[in-house]
Chains A and B, each alone.
Chain A
Amino acid sequence: MNPLLNVTGVSKSYGDRIGCKDVSFDLYPGEVMGIVGESGSGKSTLLSCLAGHLGPDTGAVNFDTRIAGMRDTITMSEPERRMLSRTDWAFVHQHARDGLRMNVSAGGNVGERLMAVGARHYGEIREQAIDWLSRVEINADRVDDRPSAFSGGMQQRLQIARNLVTGPRLVFMDEPTGGLDVSVQARLLDLLRGLVREMNLSAIIVTHDLAVVRLLADRLMVMKDGHVVETGLTDQVLDDPQHGYTQLLVSSVLQV
């Protein structure tokens, strides 16, 4: 099996300050990788580079495109990259309002990606939107409400529906459960796990919450000061951490 994503030597600096340095890894179809580290560790910079929001200084981000096989998404043209980000990729922002159109109804938010790839039948678009709302546990009768009338957890679920409606293969998530109540977090985690399995999604999840990655991620990458200090199976990294920083991180988690 070929990797879906092959990242080699990705580095990004902001002047003298290192964003992320020489990051390489493979991600296979159906695999979920967590990237953990504290604020400023470079995990968000790395995610931006991978998702094409930020151009890295060096390195390649090869993605297994449906049409042309492995392509470096950094050197491909912007229209191609934006097309990928509408079809094969999804990006779930920490703050739902960064990923939603707050002045457009829930149905319109979910339907946008469909219309962006050419759907022109209102009834079918609406049907798919309602189907996706139910899959993320939002009642069909909310389809015409604006996200501003939704709770934080519902907004986040709507963002996920909006992203997954076109059947992407790779999902980038930036602190998807950040800022949510613990009970809402649990529901979202459950939902994400189910979707990842049903759709055979690959995902890269950036978070500082080790409990989230333990439940969601197959593999883990630990970052500190822009460098990857440790990688491995999630439970192995958390239960038998090798690097001093990871040991500190794991031992600093409050036990409930």
Chain B
Amino acid sequence: MITVDNVSKSFTLHNQAAATIPVMVGASLQVKAGECVALVGQSGSGKSTLMRMIYGNYLTAGGRIMVGDLDVAVAAPRDILALRRYTLGYVSQFLRVVPRVPTVEVVAEPLLATGTDRSAAIARAEVLLDNLNIPERLWSLSPTTFSGGEQQRVNIARGFAHNYPALLLDEPTASLDGVNREVVMSMIEEAKARGASIVGIFHDEAARDRVCDREIDVTGFTPRAAI
């Protein structure tokens, strides 16, 4: 489902004497349907960068990133938008939403975007929020004022609202208590069971060992010159 093939990336800082910083070379990995692969490596080694490149959030300098039939490295914006809408989900560490929008709408939005009937989308959002122990009285409020843990759970609910065939998870269990961590773990296991390909970053080793089939150390993709 997800194939990363000999991918490289560098940043050029035009406002700092046009310094070019290579951050990744020869990155390759493959994730099959129903498989969960963990990206590991010390902080700054490029785990998030690689994940953002798969999502199309960062441009790719060289190589191929196939998600389904689409090469994200060279795809047109609207093809990436369609990919994100139907195929590729992303749970980031940060919740970015329009202020004032009720939590239940935030969670239902990915479903509405795929054309799901409004009442069905809201119902699904409510189930997810309930499972993740967001108190019902908060559903009609905007999540912008929620605590870090609550925001994280809203983000997860949103990311799992639509059954994406491919998922990117950036620290999904950070800042969660034991109960909610367990909920998220089982959600990931369910996604695997229905055949989703997952790439994740987990600092939580226990979580990683439980849901991930393989680990890929991105330190191996770090350019020699940068070490």
Contact = CB atoms under 8 A, between A and B. Distances in A.
The reply to whether A and B meet directly (CB within 8 Å) is yes
B14 A186 contact: no
Contacts of B124: none
B19 to A, nearest CB: 12
Interface in A228-256: 231-233, 235-236, 239-240, 242-245, 247-248, 251
7 contacts: A186-B99, A190-B98, A193-B98, A240-B11, A240-B57, A240-B58, A244-B15
B113 A218 contact: no
A215 B78 contact: no
B214 interface: no
B112 to A, nearest CB: 7
A233 B96 contact: no
B85 to A, nearest CB: 10
Per DSSP, chain B at the interface is: loop
Interface string B24-67: 00000000000000000000000000001000111100000000
B15 A233 contact: no
B178 interface: no
Nearest to B81: A218
A197 B59 contact: no
B113 A197 contact: yes
Q: Which of A214, A219, A235 has the most CB of B within 10 A?
A: A235
A64 to B, nearest CB: 15
B82 to A, nearest CB: 10
Contacts of B14: 243-245, 247-248
A236 B113 contact: no
A242 B59 contact: yes
B127 interface: no
B12 interface: yes
B56 A236 contact: yes
Contacts of B11: 240
A187 B15 contact: no
Contacts of B98: 186, 189-190, 193, 215
A218 B77 contact: yes
A31 B59 CA distance: 21
B78 A236 contact: no
Contacts of A232: 59, 77
B101 interface: yes
A239 B52 contact: yes
Given A233-B56, A236-B57, A240-B58, A190 B100 contact: yes
A240 B99 CA distance: 24
Nearest to A26: B78
A67 B216 CA distance: 55
Contacts of A247: 13-15
Interface in B71-116: 77-78, 80-81, 96, 98-101, 112-113
Contacts of A197: 112-113
Contacts of B78: 28, 31, 218-219
Interface in A166-190: 186-187, 189-190
Given A197-B112, A219-B77, A240-B59, 4 more contacts: A214-B96, A233-B80, A233-B81, A244-B14
A239 B15 contact: no
B18 to A, nearest CB: 8
A218 B80 CA distance: 10
Interface string B1-24: 000000000011111001000000
